Amino acid sequence: MKLSQLRPGQTGIIKEFTDLEMSIKLMEMGCLPGESIVVERFAPLGDPMAITVSGYQLSLRKLEASTIILH
């Protein structure tokens, strides 16, 4: 399952990334394999989305979130 498929309040554990270039950017922001992610909310038009990972909130576009594969 991809992160972009979760709804607000749902959680997942990061398994891997589908885009090498994007994965470097995401890992620098704390999105490491094995970390738990909580989807907090979506913007009114559905993009971007707010997530909590490693104790802080990030905002990701759905395209970016679709590169994160969850367990």
SS3 assignment, position 45: coil
Domain extent listing, the chain = 3-70
pLDDT tens digits along 43-54: 999 899 999 998
pTM exceeding 0.75: yes
Give the single-character DSSP code of 2: B
Q: Does domain 3-70 have CATH number 2.30.30.90?
A: yes
CA torsion through residues 11, 42, 29, 55, sign: negative
pLDDT mean over 33-61: 95
Residue 41: per-residue pLDDT: 97
pLDDT mean over 2-27: 95
